[in-house]
Amino acid sequence: MSRIYFEDTIGKQENEIHDTVLEPPFRLIGKPIIKTLPVRLETRSLWDAAERPQYLFGVLRAAAQAKREGKPSVSVIEFGVAEGYGLLALQAHAAAVGKEAGINIEVYGFDSGLGLPEACGDYRDHPDIWQPGDFQMNCDELRQQLSKDTRLVLGSIEHTVLQEELTSPIGFIAFDLDFYSSTVHALRLFSRKDVSFLNRVGAYFDDINDSHNHRFAGELLAIEEFNNTSESFRIDRRRGIRQGRPFPEAGWLERMFIVHNLKAISATKLKRNPARMR
C-alpha cells in the first residue's frame, strides 16, 4: 500500500494518508486540505496544491538533481514571460525550494518585452492563432515585484539566449514562447560552451496540447529538429510522472520533458559500493 506523508502543524509528527484518499471523491477533499497545511513542498507538488504546479515540480527536481551532482547552486529559466505571472510563480517556488533544500536557486526570465515577435511567415508559427504583439509586458511594474535572485532579460531571444551570463548550472527551463521560430532560438542555449547544465535538465513545453498543435509546427517541431541536430543533448518526455499521483489526469504532466545531457552522463563515474538486491 502506498502512503503519502506530510508534516503536521508543528512540523514533527507525520500522518498517513492511505490509498483511499487518492480515489474520488476523497482526493477532491484532500487537495484543499493540503493547501491549508504546512506540508513539505514535495507533498504540495504531489497534490498539485500550488500555483503553476509544473513549475514547483520542475524546481524541486532541479534542486534534487543539483544536490545529487554536488552542485551548491542551480539556475531555473522561463522563456516567454509575457505579463509575468509565470515568472513570479517560478520566483516564489525557487525561494521556497532553496530554503527547504539548502541550495541557492537563481531565476531568469527571457522575453522581448514587446509581445510576440515577427513570425517566420508560414504555418510553423501558427499564424491563424498568434500574431506579433500578443502578450505585451509592463516591464516597470513587473520589475518592482522581482527579488534580487531573479533577473529579467529583455531583448530578442535570438540574441539574449547567446549573450546572457548564466553562472549556475541550468536545471529547469519552462518554454512558453508559442512560436516554433522562437523556441528554436531558445533551444540554442544548449549549444553554448560557456554554460553548464545538470545531467538532466527538466523542461516544460506549454504549447503542445491544444487541438491546433501538431508535430510539424510549433514547439513539437522545434523539439524534433533539435533532437535531429544536437550531438550532446536529447529531449524526451519525462517517464513515469503520473505514477502515484492523486491527479494523474492533470494536463501539465504530459508537457513535462527532460533534456538529457548525453555527454555529461557518458563521463559520469559512480562513487559507491556495488548495488545489491534487497
Q: Which pLDDT tens digit goes with each residue over 229-262?
A: 999 999 999 999 999 999 999 999 999 999 999 9
Q: CA of 220: how far to CAs of 119, 179, 233, in Å?
A: 16, 10, 16
Q: 3-class DSSP state for residue 252?
A: helix
- Tell me how far the alpha carbon of residue 275 is from its chain's centroid: 31
Q: Which pLDDT tens digit goes with each residue over 43-65?
A: 999 999 999 999 999 999 999 99
Q: Looking at residue 28, what is its pLDDT?
A: 82
Cα(274)–Cα(278) distance, integer angstroms: 13
Q: 3-class DSSP state for residue 164?
A: coil
Q: Which residues contact 229 (CB under 8 A, 6 or more apart)?
A: none
Which is it for strands 170-175 and 150-154: parallel, antiparallel or unpaired?
A: unpaired
Which CATH superfamily hosts domain 51-266? Vaccinia Virus protein VP39 (3.40.50.150)
Per-residue pLDDT in tens (0 to 9) along the chain, 278 residues: 333 333 444 344 344 443 555 566 778 888 888 889 999 999 999 999 999 999 999 999 999 999 999 999 999 999 999 999 999 999 999 999 999 999 999 999 999 999 999 999 999 999 999 999 999 999 999 999 999 999 999 999 999 999 999 999 999 999 999 999 999 999 999 999 999 999 999 999 999 999 999 999 999 999 999 999 999 999 999 999 999 999 999 999 999 999 999 999 999 999 889 999 88
Q: Nearest to residue 232, comparing CAs of 267, 203, 182?
A: 267
Rounded to the nearest 10 degrees, how much is the dihedral formed by the CA atoms of 259, 171, 221, 127? 170
Q: Is 42 left (phi over 0), alpha (psi -120 to 50) or beta?
A: alpha
Q: Which three cell numbers stand for residue 182?
A: 522562437
Backbone angles phi, psi at 201, to 5 degrees: -100, 115
Q: Are 75 and 273 a contacting pair, CB within 8 Å? A: no
How many other C-beta atoms can be found within 10 angstroms of the C-beta atom of residue 46? 20
Domain residue ranges of the chain, discontinuous segments joined by +: 1-39, 51-266
